[in-house]
Amino acid sequence: MALLPFKLNERMKIAYISTYPPRECGIATFNQNLMRAVNANFPDRKSLLNGGFVVALNDSESMQEYEYPEEVKYVIRQNHQKDYIRAANYINTSSADVCIMEHEFGIYGGESGIYILPLLNRLEKPLISILHTILKDPSYVQRIIIREIADQSSKIIVMSKRAVEFLTTIYDIPAEKIQIIEHGVPDVEASQPNPVKGLTQFKNHKVLLTFGLISRGKGLETVVRALPKIVENHPEVMYVVLGNTHPGVIKSSGEEYRDHLKTLAAQLGVSKHLSFINKFVSEEELVDYLAATDIYVTPYLNEAQITSGTLSYAVGAGAAVVSTPYWHATELLANNRGRLFDFKNADALAENVIELLDQERVLNELKQNAYNYGLHLRWPVIGSEFIRVAQEACADHDFSDKILKNSIVDPEIMPKFSLTHVLRLTDDTGIVQHAKYGIPNLKEGYCLDDNARALIMALMSYQRSKSKEAFELLPIYLSYIHYMQTEDGNFRNFLSFDRRYLDEVGSEDSFGRTIWSLGYLIGCSSSNSYREFATEIFHRSFPHFKTLKHLRGMANTIIGISLYLKVFPGDDGMIAEMVNLTTPLMAAYERHQSDGWQWFEEKMTYDNAILPLALLHSCEITGDEAVKQVALKTMAFLDEVTLANGYLSPVGNEGWYHKGGTCPVYDQQAIETMAMVLMHFQAYTIFRKPQYIEKMFLCYKWFLGENTLRAPLYDHETKGCCDGLLPTGINRNQGAESTLAYLISHLTVLKAFELEYEYNKLDEHASFSY
């Protein structure tokens, strides 16, 4: 691949997204070293600031907690989502040529650090992402995050072969997007003479050393338990633990772990052979400590560590390493560069240490092998590799591709339609309301709203594919609707799992949604018995049309009536009733609309698109121009509020959007998205303007990850849909409402593509005939 002609004196600048010193964090140190390593390849650069800048992550509410050096130009407060958006804008308007992000789930805000995704999606610079943690068994959200990072990145950098294996097999990331660049190590030699050898803990001792931030996961107690056997053979041994206790541990439990190790050593009679040096040391000092050490030990407790900076440093300094076989250690210590012992096996550790101390030649051979390998891990060498990756990223980057990807209507990106989760939620009574994750929550029982939606979804599915599964669902949902109708034609809503009525009269919303579903069945059923049954239920409910008082109940009912009238266009009484229900919506609009507020109420609340959607259905039947104009104005206003960022961000349920106020971002619900999809589809069927089908598809992609958090709500494993977007991440429950909203939206999009194809064929034919 041809590279841009960057020369060592050319001023390529990099924006780094990471924690940064003086914050005590391994990734902070890594990023600072990487900046220095890159700059070391540009001899004319006098300071880190010449090579770019840092966007630093704070783990507090304050922007000023740390006294950052001059290269830190922007600070993100970990749990402030707006800071991430502002940081993206800062980077985009900067002189940076490329962006490098250090990724670790815990340093970013939201569930598993999901707040980083909106930042990455807004970047207009090529992105290189360094993954410090790659989990073998990620959660749903963690897998989403890594896949989205990969999608937004020109290159993914990992530090081991096992990491590549995980990314390709567990996360389905293409191998060609991944590159191994090993963890860098200091480019310094130990001081001569070495001052560390004069320290009390080192003088006249054989030293075992572990360094780094101390916490229980490091397994230091394994070394303490090995000490009695080691000391019995080599009484001159001293185990030195170098480093501060992890700041997070200090906040939660103080020095409890360090005290526990001291107590354990006392119980085993080896207190004089355990020493703590509780301080943070510079890299130059660290190299001196490692050079003065006889054996370096990493006794981590399990295999799940894909990268260890402390291990890399020890190998780079030419230390003889004895380690548990976690993933990084098995690779880095291969070819006789170190020794491995089983997790928590103090006896095996003792045997390895005794053997090496007994055989100086073998010990020195390990040190030499480690030192030789460490030469190609020196930071300037690693920096040159990152420069090459940055050159390739800049050469390949084309931001127009990113824009194109987010705007083209492409059915190929849609998941395969599946009724799997609906079938899981449905029994012989109806569809269960709620789920815990993907498991039906039977305690919550059933509701009319969901069974009405389920009837529409099953009809749409059967219309499309003549699916036997969908056809067999129809009588279940229709029967539930019938069971919930009262003697006077109204409807109850809630039913317990043991089939007890939980209310006497349901909400107007549930009433309207039921009329919608019955109208849909009347208009499309291939079974006369189903149509006749639905028509009977529909007519029994007719007296209650006049009693509706709430706009959304009216709107849903209008949609149902319009569908009914497409089958029975001569029913003047029903036409009159639809006009009667349309009138209050028009009046509400006239009362509340003003410059900058084209809406029916003083606030936008839930299921907002249902209101203009109902007017679109009404004017389609009556041809009323005034109704059409209000439908178009309110639809345009809703688009302005929710699609302004180039993706759908529905009005959140946390407080609603009050006139003159701020639109809440969360919680975002799936029914909002379904209504938006249906609204734009109806507009397209009436006006045949491509802009509506494009907006419809843009709204649908909210389910697939084109949203505020850049997180898909559709679950490819369960075939269900998560219940919404929360401030911290995804609501992982997958109830009937959200899943049906997704499936109805999916089927609507497919129907729209077919309709567009038919329209285009008609247009071509008309043009040819002319």
Q: How many CB atoms lie within 10 A of CB 353?
A: 29
**Do 370 and 388 fall within a single domain?**
no
The predicted-structure confidence for 226-269, as pLDDT tens digits, reads as follows 999 999 999 999 999 998 887 777 888 888 999 999 999 999 99
pLDDT (0 to 100) of residue 2: 35
Within a domain: residue 254?
Answer: yes
**Do 51 and 22 fall within a single domain?**
yes
**Do 270 and 223 fall within a single domain?**
yes
**Do 74 and 143 fall within a single domain?**
yes
**Do 331 and 261 fall within a single domain?**
yes
pLDDT (0 to 100) of residue 759: 67
Assigned token pair, 6 = 């960057």
Structural domain of 328: 195-376
**Do 291 and 326 fall within a single domain?**
yes
Share of the chain above pLDDT 70, in %: 94
pLDDT (0 to 100) of residue 323: 96
Contacts of 331 (CB under 8 A, 6+ apart): 160, 161, 162
Share of the chain above pLDDT 90, in %: 79
Between these two residues, 260 and 2, which has the higher pLDDT value?
Answer: 260
Within a domain: residue 360?
Answer: yes
**Do 70 and 116 fall within a single domain?**
yes
SS3 of residue 418 by DSSP: coil
Q: How many CB atoms lie within 10 A of CB 585?
A: 24
Assigned token pair, 647 = 């993706």
Strand 155-158 to strand 127-131: parallel, antiparallel, or no bridges (unpaired)?
parallel
**Do 116 and 33 fall within a single domain?**
yes
CATH of the domain at 81: 3.40.50.2000
Between these two residues, 26 and 350, which has the higher pLDDT value?
Answer: 350
Within a domain: residue 460?
Answer: no
| pLDDT-derived band at 671, boundaries 50, 70, 90 | very high
Within a domain: residue 216?
Answer: yes
Within a domain: residue 533?
Answer: no
Within a domain: residue 102?
Answer: yes
Q: Is the link from the previous residue into 667 a cis peptide, with omega within 30 of 0?
A: yes
Within a domain: residue 352?
Answer: yes
- Which range has the worst mean pLDDT, 85-94, 268-277, 306-315, 391-400? 391-400
The predicted-structure confidence for 520-577, as pLDDT tens digits, reads as follows 999 986 678 899 999 999 999 999 999 999 999 999 999 999 999 999 999 999 999 9
Within a domain: residue 259?
Answer: yes
Q: Are 89 and 117 in contact (CB under 8 A)?
A: no
The structure's pTM equals: 0.80
What is 75-93 written as a DSSP string?
EEETT-HHHHHHHHHHHHT
Q: Is 760 exposed, middle or buried (0-12, 13-18, 19+ CB in 10 A)?
A: exposed
**Do 209 and 356 fall within a single domain?**
yes
**Do 141 and 279 fall within a single domain?**
no
**Do 305 and 330 fall within a single domain?**
yes
**Do 206 and 175 fall within a single domain?**
no
Q: Give the C-alpha separation, 223 to 260, whole Å.
A: 13
* Domains: count for the chain: 2
